[in-house]
Amino acid sequence: MKNVETPSRIHLSKLISNLREGKYVIPDFQREFEWKPWDVLDLIRSIFSDYYIGTLLLWEGSDKHFKTLSCEPIYGFDEDPSPDYIVLDGQQRLTALYYVLFGPDVNFRNRANRYLYFINIPELLDENFEEAFFYSYYKKHERLLDNPEKQFEQHLYPLSFFSKKGYDRYRWFDQYEKYWESKAEEVEANDPDEIETIEEYRSYANRGTELRDYFEELLNEYYISFIELGENIELAKVCDIFTQINSKGVRLDIFDLLNAILRPQEIYLKDRWKSVKPRLSFADPGKMKIYILQVMSILKQSYCSPKYLYYLVPEAEKTVRNPDGSKETKILINTKDEFINKWDNSVKFLESAIKNLKNPRDFGAIQTSYLPYPSILPAFAAIKAHVNSDEVTNKLDALKKVRKWYWASIFLNRYSSSVESTSAKDFQDLRVWFQDDDKEPEYVSEFIRDYKNIDLLSEVKKGSAIYKAIFNVLIINGAKDWQTFELPEYDSLDDHHIIPSSLFRDEVGGKINSILNRTPLSPDTNRNVINNRMPNEYLKEMIEKNGEKEFYDVLETHLISKKAAQILLRKPFTSEDYDKFIEERHKSIMQAIENVCIREMSKTPPVLKDLDNSIEQVELGLRNLISTIYRNNGNKLKEFLPGHLLNKINIRINKELKSNPHLKEEDFEQIEDQIQFLDFPDYFDISATKVNWDSFEPFFGNKQELQNRVKKLSDLRNRIRHSREINETDKLDGQASITWFKNIFNSL
């Protein structure tokens, strides 16, 4: 069955357009739509949660096939269809989407009523997806559909509006915003002392733009994967494929196809993936399992598009053309053991790549949501693996080139499409560049030459690669929190408007959401301390509490220069001041891009990297000692860990579970799995409690000594990782503390 499978993906907006035009039809031998209303709700919830919803299997149709198979439109579609595809697997999902998003005037299948689906806006924006969606009988909410003000008042968005075209899709958000702004103005005019009510209504109004951005990002950046069978495939084969996938409940994609092909050779791909999935939870599991195969393929044959993945099967023959035009047959992987070895190595390479990208000192993609392009992972992992091979002699120089390639790829949006071919080209380009400095890829030269022309003012979408890249640069620059003046918790950051988004909207429009007006802060600072206030209020408080020098130093970590900070302090603050602030911050961010992404001025010297690694070994030693004492004493966890640390652990585990749906609570039952969510000073708190000190005293001797040593190493690590000045005394004190801990651990 040659050249019949074409794996691809389609973004949600295009899928909706196809549904509207009747591009998908159902063959007569398919079962009817069988989902229940709550099943449909789960699908919608999954899409808005950015979860994988499975792969569609489509057959490129023809008039002959449409007629032969007695194809019909999707349930509820009542216009003349314009079919392109016969749906072999995915009917339930496509029908559910059509029913929710287009609200056809038909009863729900096998129900006596028509149903409507709604979004509760506050719950959606708080990402409480369990409560954000609901359905109801049509008659119960029929009047609500024709009454926009009731919708605005109750903060309910009918999902059937989601399928509207163009501006009609977004008009609702504009009207929602105007409704609550007019309410605020009405209260302000009649009772200006009702400040809380006015602010509450304005906060509702602000949601209009937030919702528009949210929906636009979902429509254009949520992808549904599908496999397309070519029109020329025999009908008998199509029916056989359909029978197989429906009898076994399999949703076919490249990974599943390879899994089936490899099983006779006793290579169980799905089992191997399950065993490594927790280690690779940084990206979507549906993508990451393919990334493993792509890294294998890039390293073995420099290509990674789906058709090349088949050559990873042991003893699979690949025909290659030689430079002289002759052809020869090669086998890339000979045995089962060779395949498994390359799989295991690929997992390690991806694991290392993720660690590198997450490092706040290196690339600053501290969370999955901060990674500009997950699709760059296979190329990045393969290139880094090649750098570590014997083929590359000057590894330091090669790593510098890798960083320039990475930032050039991000800022030039090179991984937004044609990812497989881009990955292959980049791998080959960099191999040549590592050997010859004159072979710098053109896109790297273009980035270095033209980066100052990047239009940062227009970067308003949270999901865009450049938007995220600027956040990465801010993390690398060591952006501190504006309340604590310390580094924030990287697993929980808010995307803060420096100048409130409600200000100057008429003058600057959507540009108020530009990355030039955004910065990362802790949720508590953003929501409870700043809380939509003007900078000339909250920044003035920062100066009064901390002094001018500390104030300006902290703002510098956010790439807000002293001049820009002084502009923010102006009172009154006008739209002209806004423009001047944006202009000044643009200069600072451009300089930071040059420093971090091109000149690499922020890189840690080798001596400090060694020191940082030694501190990490001390931290691991402390974790090991804590776990050992806990088990030896047979304590209960609630007695052993202080309450504030238990709370801290639970919060962080819940966030981990929320962002990685494949994980379960039982994955964090062991104490080692829990204390990994704590910080260096927390280990002192565990040791020094009244309940635990008798067990730790034989090792550490003195609480004050232990506390001083932990504090020195914690402070030194922060200085190293965030480019603060470190004098010789700091280094010597740190090394002495490392030696102190090592002597203790060696005595165990």
For the chain, what's the residue count?
748
Decide if pLDDT at 694 tops 50.
yes
User: 126, 160, 194: which is the final residue of a domain?
Assistant: 160
pLDDT bin (cut points 50, 70, 90) of residue 601 is very low
pLDDT bin (cut points 50, 70, 90) of residue 354 is very high
Q: Between residues 357 and 450, which one has the greater pLDDT?
A: 357
Instruction: Read off the pLDDT of residues 530-571 as tens digits, 9 standing for 90 and up.
Output: 988 999 999 999 999 999 999 999 999 999 999 999 999 999
**If you average pLDDT over residues 597-615, what whole number do you get?**
69
Decide if pLDDT at 251 tops 50.
no
Does residue 27 have a cis peptide bond before it, meaning omega lies within 30 degrees of 0?
no
Same domain? 612 vs 584: no
Report whether 151 contacts 144 (CB < 8 A).
yes
Q: Is 170 part of a structural domain of the chain?
A: no
Same domain? 738 vs 629: yes
Same domain? 592 vs 684: no
Percent of the chain at pLDDT > 90 equals 43
Could you give the number of structural domains in the chain? 4
pLDDT bin (cut points 50, 70, 90) of residue 525 is very high
Segment among 64-73, 245-254, 734-743 with least mean pLDDT: 245-254
Q: Between residues 599 and 552, which one has the greater pLDDT?
A: 552
Which conformational region is residue 224 in: left (phi greater than 0), alpha (psi within -120 to 50 degrees), or beta?
A: beta
Segment among 60-69, 457-466, 704-713 with least mean pLDDT: 60-69
Same domain? 501 vs 611: no
Q: Which of 417, 436, 529 is nearest to 483 (CA)?
A: 529
Same domain? 551 vs 584: yes
Q: φ and ψ at 422, to 5 degrees?
A: -65, -40
Decide if pLDDT at 252 tops 70.
no
Residue by residue, DSSP assigns 385-412 as HHHTSTT-S-HHHHHHHHHHHHHHHHHT
Q: Is 663 part of a structural domain of the chain?
A: yes
Cα–Cα distance measured from residue 515 to residue 535, given in angstroms and rounded to the nearest whole number: 16
Q: Is 414 part of a structural domain of the chain?
A: yes
**If you average pLDDT over residues 169-184, what whole number do you get?**
89
Q: Which of 174, 222, 182, 228 is nearest to 202 (CA)?
A: 182
Q: Is 232 part of a structural domain of the chain?
A: no
Decide if pLDDT at 158 tops 60.
yes
Please classify residue 638 by burial: count the beta carbons closer than 10 Å to its beta carbon, then call 0-12 exposed, 13-18 middle and 19+ buried. exposed
Angle between helices 336-358 and 285-301 (to 10 degrees): 110
Same domain? 563 vs 706: no
Cα–Cα distance measured from residue 672 to residue 629, given in angstroms and rounded to the nearest whole number: 12
pTM, two decimals, is: 0.53
pLDDT bin (cut points 50, 70, 90) of residue 339 is very high
pLDDT at 245: 56
Helices assigned H by DSSP within 485-534 = 505-508, 523-524
pLDDT bin (cut points 50, 70, 90) of residue 438 is confident
**If you average pLDDT over residues 434-438, what whole number do you get?**
90
78: tokens are: 């009542």
Q: Which of 226, 222, 186 is nearest to 202 (CA)?
A: 186
Among the ranges 96-100, 216-220, 634-638, 640-644, which has the highest mean pLDDT value? 96-100
Q: Between residues 35 and 601, which one has the greater pLDDT?
A: 35
**Residue ranges making up the domain that contains 423:** 253-264+274-453
Q: Is 14 part of a structural domain of the chain?
A: yes
pLDDT at 488: 85
Same domain? 311 vs 449: yes
Decide if pLDDT at 6 tops 90.
no
User: 582, 598, 614: which is the final residue of a domain?
Assistant: 598
Percent of the chain at pLDDT > 70 equals 92
pLDDT at 722: 46
pLDDT bin (cut points 50, 70, 90) of residue 671 is confident
Q: Between residues 306 and 241, which one has the greater pLDDT?
A: 306
Same domain? 487 vs 631: no
Decide if pLDDT at 299 tops 60.
yes
User: 453, 468, 503: which is the final residue of a domain?
Assistant: 453
Distances from the Cα of 24 to the Cα of 47, 83, 109, 557, angstroms: 20, 6, 18, 52
Same domain? 12 vs 143: yes
Decide if pLDDT at 378 tops 60.
yes
Average pLDDT, the chain: 86
Q: Is 444 part of a structural domain of the chain?
A: yes
pLDDT at 327: 81
Same domain? 561 vs 638: no
pLDDT at 602: 46
Residue type, position 144, single letter: L
Instruction: Read off the pLDDT of residues 36-59 as tens digits, 9 standing for 90 and up.
Output: 888 899 899 889 888 888 889 898
Q: Which of 338, 332, 272 is nearest to 304 (CA)?
A: 332
Q: Which of 294, 308, 314, 287 is nearest to 223 (CA)?
A: 287
Q: Between residues 726 and 173, which one has the greater pLDDT?
A: 173
Q: Is 141 part of a structural domain of the chain?
A: yes
Instruction: Read off the pLDDT of residues 469-499 as tens digits, 9 standing for 90 and up.
Output: 999 999 999 999 999 998 888 878 889 999 9
Same domain? 55 vs 113: yes
Same domain? 499 vs 350: no
Q: Is 365 part of a structural domain of the chain?
A: yes
pLDDT bin (cut points 50, 70, 90) of residue 248 is very low
**If you average pLDDT over residues 210-228, what whole number do you get?**
88
